[in-house]
Amino acid sequence: MQTVCPIAIVIFAIMNTSGKIKLLLVACLSIVGLLIYIQYQLISNTYRLTKVEYEKEVKAVANTIISKEPGIEKQLLSRITAVFSKKAVPVTIRQQLFNIIIDQSNSTVFGLERQYNDSFRRMNALKDVSYSSSYDLFTIEINGNSFSLVQLVNQADRSQNRLTDGDCLLQVRNFQGIIDEKNLQLNPNLKDFHNLKVKFQGKQFINIAKGQGEIMKRMTSTFLLAAGLLLAEIVLFYAMFSAILKQKRLTDIQKDFANNITHELKTPLSSVKVMFKSLERKEVLENQVHLGQLLQSLKRQYEKIQAITDSVLESAMVTEFQPELCRCDISQHLREYASDLRLEKHLLEAIIEPISQELRTNLAVLDKALNNLIDNAIKYSPESLKITFKAYAQHDFYIIKIIDLGPGIPITEQHSVFDKFYRVPERNKHTVKGLGLGLYISKQAVQQLGGSLTLFSKEGGGCTFTIKLPINEN
């Protein structure tokens, strides 16, 4: 059996709907798109607010730790003073002086980085945060001449490789300082470097690149709520549009039913009208043979109208009828049923399993279903083609198949063929008579017997209707 998912059914249905339905679909999709955009903006704003709140928290905690420790100003002064106060300092040229200062600056920065990061790791709020710093100014003045070493100092700073992502850096505090001759307590042997002054300033940062996980964790409920609302919106619009399509399909079915029943009744009623006019003629009333023929024709037209009425009434009552089941030899019954079939313009191939098989069923109800299926095969199969009637036991079920070589049913219509009054669209053509009740009545009848009726078909490849009846009573 071929199945079609609900979404595919809606898509296929949309392709056949009128302009108003397509316009409604475009409107629904536009509204869904607008709602998605609004939710995206809300989530984006929520993310920014959550990030700002997280940054404030970690910045406050980090600033507390950094403020407690001796700052970069004091530690750099301490290191440089310790070097230049020694009695023997290996400084003979200016470049050596610069190298010593740069080394001490780098040692100071690296030592603070390791110290602060160790403190951060002990704090749960800062476990995903790291420390970095950068110089904006670093100059040395010697005897009135000024030399900028900021680029050299920053290049030597091993924390610079963590300052590449500006979006993840938070400035905690600024630092600046001046180290002059009074602070340095220069060794008298360094007379060439008197009037020495070191100026520096810069910034201290915390890197929150690894803190994105914490931000996303805080937004979990927001993401879930947004996803739930989006899913609810999609389901709501899908349900609404499906209901509209269903209502339109019901309207089309009612319209087709009205057209079909009008078409079916028009011919016999027209014939009846002509016959009544003939009966008004004296010569007809006096001709007993002709009169008898007219009366027989009236009877046949009456029977046609009665059959149409009965089929409509039967479709209204079929779901309420509960047949009485009894044990019987289904194989024997189907062999007799097949032998009684007389197809005037088609070939019948009956393949009935010869082995007897008993099951509980109602033969009259089963024959009603089979009659409709055989009649359906005759209607839609070209003349002289074969109709196959198969019956056999398979595991716990008894299978009956009616196979025709007709035009088949498009996959887009197969989900509706068992609906009441439904007929495959023929663009208002009435090449095949009927009210769209035969397959509906057959399915209801088989279900009353505890079985199932399914269809396998492909366009241009005929149809196979399969009745599956349970063999075991349970």
Please tell me whether residues 203 and 102 are part of one structural domain: yes
Q: Give the domain range for residue 442.
A: 322-470
Q: What is the CATH number of the domain that holds 415?
A: 3.30.565.10
pLDDT reading at 198 higher than 70: yes
pLDDT reading at 17 higher than 60: no
Among candidate residues 303, 318, 333, the one where a domain is terminated: 318
Please tell me whether residues 165 and 195 are part of one structural domain: yes
Which has more pLDDT, 214 or 16? Answer: 214
Please tell me whether residues 312 and 422 are part of one structural domain: no
Nearest alpha-carbon partner for 323 in 364, 272, 291: 364
Q: In the Cβ-directed half-sphere of 373, how many Cα atoms lie within 13 Å?
A: 29
Please tell me whether residues 353 and 375 are part of one structural domain: yes
Please tell me whether residues 404 and 351 are part of one structural domain: yes
Please tell me whether residues 460 and 329 are part of one structural domain: yes
Q: Is residue 49 part of a domain?
A: no
Q: What φ, ψ does residue 328 adopt, rounded to 5°?
A: -155, 165
Q: What is the dihedral of CA 185, 188, 189, 194, to 10 degrees?
A: 70
Q: Is residue 171 part of a domain?
A: yes
Name the token pair of 166.
């500006």
- Write the DSSP string, 396-441: TEEEEEEEE-S----TTTGGGTTSTT-----TT--SS---S-HHHH
Give the total number of structural domains in the chain: 3
Model pTM? Answer: 0.44
Q: For 25-41, write each residue's pLDDT tens digit.
A: 788 778 878 888 888 89
Q: For 99-138, write each residue's pLDDT tens digit.
A: 878 888 888 888 888 888 888 888 888 888 888 888 888 8
Q: For 46-87, write each residue's pLDDT tens digit.
A: 888 988 898 888 888 888 888 876 777 788 877 777 766 654
Please tell me whether residues 272 and 327 are part of one structural domain: no
